[in-house]
Amino acid sequence: MEETLDQTLNIGSEIRLAEGITKRIQIGSIGLIRKVRSIMKGNEYKFSFSIGRGKWEATENRKEIDFDAVEEAYKEAFNLVLVEGLTDEEYEQVDEQGIKELDELLERFL
């Protein structure tokens, strides 16, 4: 019964991001997949790699990369796919296992 209700509400599985912080993932509808892909378009870096890196200047081998903007794009996408979103306070508390969960979270939408 609960699983049927969750599917009706477009709610999928649950992930643990830190001690005391678990979130439910939305089921990927076509509209949601389009929104996430639009936000993440052109992003070549994993979430875990982008955390706290700032801006890298362009070189002859790569264009300039603003990792702050990359991280913000991830946060925006996470807020779309997590049923209750992710507050700034929760985001700052995400632990190593939670980072791994977030690294894999968007794969089903991309």
pLDDT tens digits, residue range 12-53?
789 999 999 999 999 878 999 999 999 999 898 999 999 999
Rounded alpha-carbon distances, angstroms, from residue 86 to 61, 81, 101: 35, 10, 13
Strand partners, 55: 66
62-89 residue pLDDT tens: 899 999 999 999 999 999 999 999 999 9
The pLDDT confidence band at residue 55, using thresholds 50, 70 and 90, is: very high
Q: Is residue 66 classed as helix, strand or coil in its secondary structure?
A: strand
pTM of the model: 0.85
Q: Please state, in angstroms and rounded to a whole number, the distance separating the CA atoms of residues 2 and 91.
A: 28
